[in-house]
Amino acid sequence: MSDPDATNKAEWTAKILDPHLKAEPERRASFTTISGLPLERLYTPEDRSANGAGPAAKLGYPGAYPFTRGVTPTMYRSHFWVMGMYSGYGSAEEANQRYRALLERGQTGFSIALDLPTQCGYDADHPIAAGEVGLNGVHIGSLADMERLFEGIPLEKVRQIRTTANAIGPIIAAMYIAAFEKRGVNVRNTRMFIQNDILKEYIARGTYIFPPEAGLKLSADVIEYCAGHLPDWTPLAMSGYHIRDSGSGAAQELAFTFANGLAYVDEVLRRGANIDTFGPQIWTFLSAGIDFLEEVAKFRAARRIWARLMREHYGAQNPETMKLKIFAYTLGGNLVAQQPLNNVTRVAIETLAAVLGGVQTIATSSYDEAYAIPTEEAATIALRTQQIVAHETGITDTVDALGGSYAIESLTDAIEREVYQYLDKIERLGGAVRCIENGYYHHELAEAAYRYQRQIEANDRILVGLNAYQSEEAQQIPVFRGNPETERRQIERLRSLRRERNNALVEQTLADLVGRARANENLMPALIENVNAYATLGEISEALRGVYGTYKPSQVI
């Protein structure tokens, strides 16, 4: 029988816990989150009072500074998050068919997956693109492809259209603008969401072209242009997803993401802008992982940290600048090829974490992504996962349902402290760009990934179907197969485009682009002229390579 006189944590430990442990030891010597944060056996109000400022100062209210509990007062009671899937493959027509099918099934936004040649600025007929065209995403080589991609899609009715464009972010933004104008769509009424975070490419993904300083400049061009011309666009989604998928922990994901984000903010401010002019347009793109409590706490800590950075460091006055809007994608690195149908459960748990963490947009992974890009059936199940969470679980009917949980609040505080420690160190090392160049980011990610892999190999971290509960019989699932004709067709279209366009005009606009780049001007107006003349992605990228050069990373050991 429990002792009614155990009135605090110490007494409970001495009178109830310790005798129990002698008879029934715990299954592990220590318990931590995936990121390595220690997990207490029990959380109580004493843990909250030990974390500095009182709960009211840390929490606030939904829609009020510091936005720990959400960026709007009513959150999902007013409307659900944007439900959008990351998809795209082959030709623009094939991707267009997938987008239409998902929109018909209730999707409210979509992310455009671009193939590697597109992301790295190569045309379909470039030797380095051979065998990769349309393989991991849709190939967009010119304005003509962008027009085909959006044909028949009600652009002004879709809540959000996203893309992974980073090194080519300004070029893709120019293509969007030109394509909308040719459709007769008022560009100011569209809601484009451009990742445009080149800095994370140097540390976590690798689809860069130019050196970091030039990449930072080009990303800032998009932010500056949208602030003046396209206030409903998102010109930057500072990205932690790929940092996390490269092995980071939760605090590293936030710290490295925010350090990169602050580099963009500083660059735009140096041009004379006011933080409240462009700050409200900035989003972040984070992972939604499987460690449920840690992930919920991570999203809450992210909002609080960003709000304080904007107000206390940059002097923001507009509350919209302080509100961190979050796009979460269920973490692909958690998907296991063994017993792939188990991934449906993993994605559902990760979706729950994102929703209880209060995010604004969710893309759900498909169970077959450990093998290939999703089949239409798998993508539909992933979308249905979001819809079931939204309509059937009841967790969307109250705001910040886990707010006040001793465990959640303690983890939120712990992540916040660790993020600030990282941010201080990055600043001492010279900022985000210097940490790319000196290998600091790479070293930290390699160390974190190594620790996690060792846990799996030692069975300290169980992945069902991989290192425990294996099945002798493999689950047979349909796997997406690309169209082998896509590359040949794309090259034929490219060559036809070059024959039929006004090549003199193309050369003229490219020369103007080079001149403006050498003069260090904002390149968005010139890029819009380039794509309207049907200059190709590869031609534009090559012209800029001639000005900025290409990035060759130093070896990091």
Q: 367 and 340 in contact (C-beta within 8 Å)?
A: yes
Averaged pLDDT for residues 495-524: 98
CA nearest to 410, candidates 44, 57, 63, 61: 44
Beta strand 192-194 with 160-163 is parallel
Listed ranges 148-152, 366-370, 430-434; the one with the highest mean pLDDT: 430-434
Beta strand 82-87 with 109-112 is parallel
Task: Give per-residue burial for 32-49: e unless 16+ CB within 10 Å, then b.
Answer: ebbbebebeeebeeebbe
Among 155-164, 362-371, 449-458, 469-478, the least confident range = 155-164
Has residue 15 got a pLDDT over 80? yes
Beta strand 82-87 with 361-363 is parallel
Has residue 420 got a pLDDT over 90? yes
Question: Cα angle vertex 363, ends 359, 288, to 5°?
Answer: 55
Q: 324 and 303 in contact (C-beta within 8 Å)?
A: yes
Pair of tokens at residue 311 = 């107000």
Has residue 240 got a pLDDT over 90? yes
Pair of tokens at residue 191 = 């809601």
Has residue 258 got a pLDDT over 70? yes
pLDDT of residue 414: 96
Has residue 182 got a pLDDT over 80? yes
Helix (H, G, I), strand (E, B) or coil at 443: helix
Helix (H, G, I), strand (E, B) or coil at 196: coil
CA nearest to 333, candidates 352, 346, 320: 346
CA–CA distance, 298 with 245 (Å, rounded to integer): 15
With pLDDT > 70 as the criterion, what percentage of the chain qualifies?
97
Averaged pLDDT for residues 241-248: 95
Taking each helix axis as running N to C, give the angle between helix 406-428 and helix 250-270, from 0 to 180 degrees, rounded to the nearest 10: 50
Residue appearing with tokens 């470039």: 126
Pair of tokens at residue 551 = 């990035």
Q: 55-457, what's its fold? A: TIM Barrel (3.20.20)
Question: Per-residue pLDDT tens for 82-125?
Answer: 997 777 778 888 888 888 888 888 877 778 889 999 999 999 99
Has residue 6 got a pLDDT over 80? no
Q: Which amino acid is at 131?
A: G
Taking each helix axis as running N to C, give the angle between helix 250-270 and helix 440-457, from 0 to 180 degrees, rounded to the nearest 10: 160
CA 80 to chain centre: 19
pLDDT of residue 554: 72
pLDDT, averaged across the chain: 92
Among 1-5, 284-288, 293-297, 519-523, the least confident range = 1-5
pLDDT of residue 90: 82
Q: 211 and 180 in contact (C-beta within 8 Å)?
A: no
Alpha helices (H) along 72-134: 92-104, 116-119
Alpha carbons within 13 angstroms on the beta-carbon side of residue 394 total: 0
Q: First CA to last CA across the chain, in angstroms?
A: 57
Listed ranges 23-32, 145-154, 492-501; the one with the highest mean pLDDT: 492-501
3-class DSSP string for 230-261: CCCCECEEEECHHHHHCCCCHHHHHHHHHHHH
3-class DSSP string for 315-368: CCCCHHHHCCEEEEEECHHHCCCCCCCHHHHHHHHHHHHHHHCCCCEEECCCCC
Q: 288 and 331 in contact (C-beta within 8 Å)?
A: yes
pLDDT of residue 557: 44
Torsions phi, psi for 544 (to 5 deg): -75, -30
With pLDDT > 90 as the criterion, what percentage of the chain qualifies?
77
Question: Per-residue pLDDT tens for 331-372?
Answer: 988 999 999 999 999 999 999 999 999 999 999 999 999 888
Averaged pLDDT for residues 420-424: 98
Question: Per-residue pLDDT tens for 269-294?
Answer: 999 999 999 999 999 999 999 999 99
pLDDT of residue 1: 42
